């Protein structure tokens, strides 16, 4: 099998060391003190914070690594981009943590069109022109997708998804071939 990774993110030695430290914490269930810089906001400003993190697992998505974990101050699991961590230290002042029995990455991302998750979902009903049939039908776009063909060759794709940039971008990529 040849893996096409032309767009894989390049990680420097520091990020490789951070990956190793987080992987050890995932394996040993050790809470970390991390320094993390947010993605730029609409004004291109970033925020750097230091906080506690219980890392549950890694996700390799589109050639980049992400950490799925929980900040003990909040009651939800969050996704963090590996390349935004600048410091990671094992927190020896707290006991090890336990990953909840009901935690499952596949359940976490079950309605996600891309990487990020939410409790908010929408039901999409998209009408495609006939010339997109192969591009649409050779993949599964949602766990509950339905396809129905129309007499004129067009077809409807329906599925549940979490709204967001990746979903909007995918729909827009079909231009006038989708409504």
Whether the CB-CB separation of 39 and 61 falls below 8 Å is answered with no
The tens digit of pLDDT for each residue in 129-141 reads 999 999 999 988 9
The tens digit of pLDDT for each residue in 62-109 reads 888 999 999 989 888 999 999 999 999 999 888 899 999 999 888 888
State the residue for tokens 């009901």. Answer: 102
The tens digit of pLDDT for each residue in 75-88 reads 889 999 999 999 99
State the residue for tokens 């951070």. Answer: 18
Distance CA 20, CA 22 (A): 6
Q: Residue 178 gets which letter from DSSP?
A: B
Predicted model pTM:
0.77
Q: Residue 176 gets which letter from DSSP?
A: G
Distance CA 76, CA 40 (A): 22
Q: What is the mean pLDDT of residues 15-35?
A: 93
């Amino acid at each position: 099998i040849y893996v096409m990774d032309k767009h894989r993110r390049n990680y420097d030695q520091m990020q490789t060391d951070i990956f190793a430290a987080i992987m050890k914490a995932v394996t040993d269930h050790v809470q970390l003190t991390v320094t993390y810089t947010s993605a730029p906001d609409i004004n291109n400003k970033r925020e750097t914070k230091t906080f506690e993190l219980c890392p549950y697992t890694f996700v390799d998505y589109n050639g980049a690594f992400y950490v799925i974990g929980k900040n003990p101050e909040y009651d939800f699991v969050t996704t963090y981009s590996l390349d935004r961590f600048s410091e990671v230290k094992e927190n020896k002042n707290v006991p090890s943590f336990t990953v909840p029995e009901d935690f499952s990455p596949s359940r976490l991302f079950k309605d996600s069109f891309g990487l990020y998750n939410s409790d908010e979902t929408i039901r999409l009903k998209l009408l495609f022109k006939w010339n997109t049939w192969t591009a649409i039908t050779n993949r599964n776009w949602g766990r509950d997708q339905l396809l129905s063909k129309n007499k004129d060759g067009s077809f409807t794709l329906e599925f549940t998804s979490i709204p967001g940039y990746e979903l909007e971008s995918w729909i827009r990529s079909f231009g006038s071939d989708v409504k």
